[in-house]
Amino acid sequence: MDATKINYVFSGFVKEYTPGLAVNTQLISKMWVQAAVDADVSIRLKYNDDGAPGNNGPDEKTETKTVAVTGNPGVWQELTFTHVPDVVVNKVNFWFALEYLEGPPVFPANGNVFLFDNMTGVIGATLSTDKNTLEDVKVYPNPVRETLSIKSPAGSDISIYNVLGATVKTINKANALQKVSLADLKSGLYFVKIINEGKVFQSKIIKE
Buried b / exposed e along 128-163 (16+ C-beta atoms within 10 A): eeeeeebeebebeebebeeebebbbbeebebbbbbe
Residues 158 and 194: their CA atoms lie apart, in Å, by: 5
Measured distance CA(194)–CA(103) in Å, rounded: 36
Q: Is the N-terminal amide bond of 104 cis, ω within 30° of 0?
A: no
Task: Give the per-residue pLDDT at 170.
Answer: 92
In a domain, 169, yes or no: yes
- Domain end residue (candidates: 69, 98, 130): 130
Q: What is the CATH number of the domain that holds 179?
A: 2.60.40.3080
> Which CATH number characterizes residue 54's domain?
2.60.120
- What local confidence, expressed as pLDDT, does residue 107 receive? 52
CB atoms near residue 179 (< 10 Å): 11
Domain extent for 86: 7-130
Amino acid occupying residue 59: D
Q: How many domains does the chain have?
A: 2
Question: Please, what are the averages of pLDDT over each run of 10 residues along the chain (208 residues)?
Answer: 46 61 70 74 68 48 67 74 68 66 52 72 50 77 91 92 85 93 91 86 86
Helices and strands, number each (H, E), in the chain:
0, 14
Residue 111: which residues within 8 A CB-CB, separation 6 or more? none
Mark whether 22 and 114 lie in a shared domain: yes
- Exposed e or buried b for every residue in 39-53, given b needs 16+ CB within 10 A? bbbebbbbbbbbbeb
Same domain? For 32 and 95 the reply is yes
